[in-house]
Amino acid sequence: MQKVSFEKLSKQLQNGNKEEFKLLYLQLRPQFIRFSKRMGCTKEEIEEAYNDTFVSLYENIVHRKIESLKSSLKTYVFGIGKHMLLAKIKSRDNQSLSRQQSVEYKDFVYNIPNDNSPLIEMIKWGVSSMGAQCQEILHLYYYQRYSIDAICHHLKYKNSNTVKAQKSRCMKKLREIITLKIENGNH
């Protein structure tokens, strides 16, 4: 297979010819898939990242964000692809963690009969031993069923990401408090 040079690719794309671009796409695809599988990515994540990588490469060349490369074209493409994959992994992990935290707390609070069981008492004690800010956010989110945006507005936070981060820290702290109480045998 013919090796595609950056200079030739750039010149052709600037002139509207996409033949070298298509060739490069097909040429690097199997190697990129092997590389991505070692990072623990799903087939869908790999496909999406690879396509996003080539969209980014195309835009960088056509909009003249890059004029030359200090590395090989393959290294440049794989660098973009690696960043795309890491972003997808981070997003997947954050979503998974957020869902897990939400389910854990909801399981504690909503799926256990509303009695004075030791677990319920421990959760109540854990929340009551937290600061007022955490108590309010957890109460609004889990008991009042406010959305993150509604909490942001209600408590006059700068943006919803701040609320998400604070809620996440509060849940982490609650888990730590309960775990410490269990480990110390104070249950």
Tell me, what's the pLDDT at 187?
A: 52
pLDDT at residue 155 tops 70: yes
Domain 112-183 carries which CATH code? 1.10.10
Tell me, what's the pLDDT at 98?
A: 47
The CATH fold assigned to 6-93 is: Rna Polymerase Sigma Factor; Chain: A (1.10.1740)
pLDDT digits (tens, 9 = 90+) for 31-87: 999 888 887 788 888 999 999 999 999 999 998 888 888 888 898 998 898 888 888
Q: Which residue spans of the chain are classified as CATH 1.10.1740?
A: 6-93
Highest mean pLDDT: which range of 31-40, 140-149, 168-177 = 168-177
Residue range 136-142: mean pLDDT, rounded:
86
CB count in 10 Å sphere of residue 50:
21
Q: Which residue spans of the chain are classified as CATH 1.10.10?
A: 112-183
